[in-house]
Structure 1
Amino acid sequence: MRLLRGLHNIPAEFSGCAVTIGNFDGLHLGHQAILRGLHDAANALGVPTLVMIFEPQPKEFFAADKAPARLANLREKLLDLDADHVDYVLCLPFNQALRSMSADDFIKQVLVDTLGIRHLIVGDDFHFGCDRRGDYQALASAGLQYGFDVRDSSTFLVAGERVSSTRVRNELEADRLDEVCKLLGRAYRMSGRVAHGRELGRTLNTPTANVLVKRHRLPLSGVYAVVARIQESGEEYPGVANIGVKPTISSIPEPSLEVHLFGFSGDLYGQHLTVEFWHKIRGERSFDGLEALRDAIDNDKRSAQCYFATLPHSFRDSGSSRITTTELNFSEATRYER
């Protein structure tokens, strides 16, 4: 997959593609259906696939801090699209110039003149252009004029309701992780680079990896039983994670993801972890001092160990993270170079 940052980075030889446009936040089953249609159209036409996204996302541009929490940051979104074998991702800056561009100008200047579009797939609620005046009908008319096909993706339903990023977000906020899995086709996950933190975990006998989440707001918070994959090596470990703002030790709210891996020994600094959230243990709360926090963390570790140990073997062996019996031998020999 090739990332194109802005229209000025479109290769001179670029001509013809099958395109879809949207936020693709979380890459849920509805998004995945759109991408399958995109691949089918591209293969039939013999052209590459291109997904157009925006940074910031339009709601973030208009609503700033009041915008909903992202399910995926930009890096996570690109990893998901790459795993779906998309050929190109065009990331356009959503700024005042793009916000003010008319629907007709967007079609002519961006889709036709710059991309040489051959096929377009959009969601059933897609709007674009200044004041969102552009819609499917405008695109269909332009397709007849300029010679490209337009397809409106049908609504994707799970349990009789439309799958959307908003629905995923609502299920996360309600701690219904099983429902989230049904909407995403996998466990909800976050990924990021492991960086130096306060190193408080070592003093509490629970060394943790401080994962940079690169978000202003979080779509979930609390303590979870998790499965973490080290992207560089592919190794996977069960563990326990706290995601939130660490109210006991931080006077300034700052999104944080701290992960303790069962059975891991080594140095993770600078590497990337993908953390899957499998089970909610408790909500995030403040404690009266470090001793109370240490006791709570010990209880959290035991709760996570019990959760994984009681999973059916068939689930452990066939789940998205392929946890093995060996990895479920919870040794307290865990050591980090912290």
Structure 2
Amino acid sequence: MNIYSSSQSIQFDTNSVVTVGTFDGVHAGHQKIFHRLIESAKESGARSVVVTFEPHPQIVLQKPGRDPIQLLSSIEERLQLLDKSGISDVIIVPFSTAYSQISSEDFVRKVLVQDIGLRKILVGYDHSFGKDREGDEKLLHTLGTECGFEVEIIPEFRVGDDSVSSTKIRHALLDGNLDHANAMLGYPYMVEGVVIEGHRRGHTLGIPTANVKPKNAHKLLPRNGVYFVSSMIDGQLYYGMANVGLRPTFTEDLVPTLEVHYLSMDMNLYELTVQVNFIKFIRDERKFDSVDLFLSQIVEDRNICFELVESYQHI
């Protein structure tokens, strides 16, 4: 997969099948668009091009005093997932306040048609773009007639009763509905981070944990609680038990942290980058009246995770 830092850094001819969006989470609905994008590009002997933005527009345009923006994926995670999908080219547009003032018509004419060589554009049924999100299906069809490109609208993708969207996935994760979130994503929700030095309390109690600091400050952590998770480390798959939360039995952290106790592992992970895949929500985080009660619950949680290992060998 070829990655370009801006539309000005490329010299494409008029043979690009394109989709545009932030694609936070690269969820199952996005993947449906990418599948059709690749299929359409192959039909016409064109390249499949994804145009995305970094930083995420919501971060750039957020008003002061609002809660921090929480995202499903960093740009690195998005690129990893896009590469797996088979896309040939990704263009990362540097997003800024000034860029947000570009009209939807100018964006199509100057960026998509002039710079990228748009032959066909595919977007989701509810897609809007440009200044004040004024660009829509009607405008694309009008400009397509004028500039000579095709337009294809991809219908909604549903999981159960829900039309899949990044917003609904965020809500599901924060509500503890991990199964539904993962179904809408099409893969287990993941958090990539660096293992940092902790209080070594887990090691003292006989349950050593890796304290994982997300690499992206805007990365969403799921609802506070205990989870069954997995990680690929040095080419080997490890399962584990993770806690997201404030560790109320021992302290009252101001912000949630992520700790992972890997089952059947004896390895120093400090300063390593790990990807934690959230597979199953086990229970909410609780404050225990004593260390003994805490340890008793941890043993029970750990046993549940061992029982789950057999069911998730291929995750």
- Shared fold (TM-score greater than 0.5)? yes
Equivalent pair of 2:25/2:78 in contact (CA under 8 Å): yes
**Aligned partner of residue 188 in structure 2, secondary structure:** coil
Equivalent pair of 2:53/2:92 in contact (CA under 8 Å): yes
Deviations 1:187-228 (A, max 9, x none): 222223333344443233322222231234634132333232
How is 1:125-144 mapped onto 2 (pairs within 5 angstroms)? 125-144=126-145
Distance in structure 1 (CA, Å) of the matches to 2:307 and 2:59 = 41
Distance in structure 2 (CA, Å) of the matches to 1:197 and 1:145 = 60
Partner residue, 1:306: 304
How is 1:67-82 mapped onto 2 (pairs within 5 angstroms)? 68-82=69-83
Aligned-residue CA RMSD in angstroms?
Answer: 2.6
Partner residue, 1:7: 7
Distance in structure 1 (CA, Å) of the matches to 2:236 and 2:13 = 38
Equivalent pair of 2:19/2:49 in contact (CA under 8 Å): yes
User: Are 1:316 and 2:312 an aligned pair?
Assistant: yes
Deviation at 1:99, TM superposition (A): 0.8
Deviation at 1:100, TM superposition (A): 0.5
Partner residue, 2:260: 259
Q: What fraction of aligned residue pairs are identical, expressed as a percent? A: 33
Deviation at 1:260, TM superposition (A): 0.9
**Aligned partner of residue 266 in structure 1, secondary structure:** coil
User: Are 1:100 and 2:122 an aligned pair?
Assistant: no
Deviations 1:218-265 (A, max 9, x none): 34132333232225x231122111123445666663453211101112
Letter in 1 for 2:307: A
Q: Which runs of 5+ in 1 are unaligned?
A: 322-338
Distance in structure 2 (CA, Å) of the matches to 1:80 and 1:175 = 24
Task: Give the aligned length.
Answer: 312
Deviation at 1:16, TM superposition (A): 3.3
Partner residue, 1:235: 236
Label 1:252 to 1:176 Cα distance change in 2 as closer, same or farther (>3 A): closer
Partner residue, 1:183: 184
Deviations 1:99-152 (A, max 9, x none): 100111111111011111122111111111111111111111111211221111
Partner residue, 2:220: 218
Letter in 2 for 1:146: C
Equivalent pair of 1:122/1:153 in contact (CA under 8 Å): yes
Partner residue, 2:147: 146
Label 1:267 to 1:3 Cα distance change in 2 as closer, same or farther (>3 A): farther
Q: Which runs of 5+ in 2 are unaligned?
A: none
Letter in 1 for 2:37: L
Deviation at 1:161, TM superposition (A): 2.8
Equivalent pair of 2:73/2:219 in contact (CA under 8 Å): no
